Amino acid sequence: MSDAVQLVPARVPAAPAPLRLRGRAFDAGRPAVMAIVNRTPDSFWSGNRHADLGSALEALDEAVALGADVVDVGGVRAGQEGEAVSGREEVERVVPFLAAARERHPDVVLSLDTWRSEVARAAAAEAGLDLVNDTWAGHDPELVHVAAEVGAGYVVSHTGGLPPRTDPVAVTYPPEPLGVVDDALRTLREGATRAVDAGLPADRVLVDPTLDFGKTTAHSLTLLRHTEAIVGLGFPVLQALSRKDFVGETLGLPADDRLEGTLAATAVAAWLGATVFRAHDVRATRRVVDMVASIRGERRPLVTVRGVPG
């Protein structure tokens, strides 16, 4: 009887579709880190409140130095606990930042987190835009057309049909537990098709399962486990995991203590084929996604001293 062990080749999830923005390509071998800069006084995490423009630009410079490829600026808190912000005030918060960011870092991909087409149009006209991050699933149906008109990319999201700034309460996706996956796949597929029909190239359309938005913690964990199915839609995938409530509820931790849980979720999503990672903690996220890319066999190590004859 042989003691030999028959080795089975490791199964690496399929490589994702590439993302191309501002002349740069992102894929499994070069995942993108999207730094978050919130031009708000009431962001859910105190470490990312930059109501002052000077503070926001300092955060931008630090993020780029630590390895951010994309910088995503928002002018309104996502949840309903934040203050009311008009479209005009949102423009006043984000446009000066975007204009200064483009001057300081010409090669960085600039993204705007908004659900309002008038805000995106103003930002594109006055500062230029590379990506429109529509976190509320096409609530304003004109937003995708603005992205196409100005030559920006577009993020298709899934919020379970909830309107902007709505916190989920007793949300269900029957039949459980996989109803949320079916709903997300259908919604993201339809949204991506609308984006392409609006004139956007497929490699400038991102799909985002949008964890926490319109979801319980159980829903978010289920969708994270099924990242590979979302990748299978054929569009690059954005995962916005950073310090979110699903991490906090899973581990029983406040936002200040959610880094390790966030990085664990990031590693899983990267292994399963997500391409872009929206993050508060840029350096840690950069290291995690690059390491996972190398484990997948998509990225070469930067230093190869071990095993080299002296």
pLDDT at 1: 52
pLDDT at 289: 98
Looking at 252-306, list the stretches that DSSP marks H as alpha helix, in order from N- to C-terminal side.
259-271, 282-295
**Rounded distance, CA 226 to CA 103, Å?**
39
pLDDT tens, residue by residue, 55-107: 899 999 999 999 999 999 999 988 667 778 899 999 999 999 999 999 999 99
CATH architecture assignment, domain 19-295 = Alpha-Beta Barrel (3.20)
Confidence band of 309 (pLDDT split at 50, 70, 90): low
Confidence band of 306 (pLDDT split at 50, 70, 90): confident
Give yes or no for residue 8 having a pLDDT over 70.
Answer: yes
Confidence band of 48 (pLDDT split at 50, 70, 90): low
Domain coordinates of the chain in residue numbers? 19-295
Measured in whole angstroms, the distance separating CA 96 from the mean position of its chain's CA atoms is 23
Give yes or no for residue 302 having a pLDDT over 60.
Answer: yes
The pair of three-digit structure tokens given for residue 274, joined into one six-digit string: 């997500």
296 secondary structure, DSSP code: T
The pair of three-digit structure tokens given for residue 203, joined into one six-digit string: 């490699």
Q: Give me the phi and psi of 72, to 5 degrees please.
A: -110, 115
- The mean pLDDT of 116-143, rounded to a whole number, is 96
Give the pairing of strands 32-38 and 276-279.
parallel
Give yes or no for residue 43 having a pLDDT over 80.
Answer: no
- 298: nearest Cα among 12, 7, 9, 5: 12
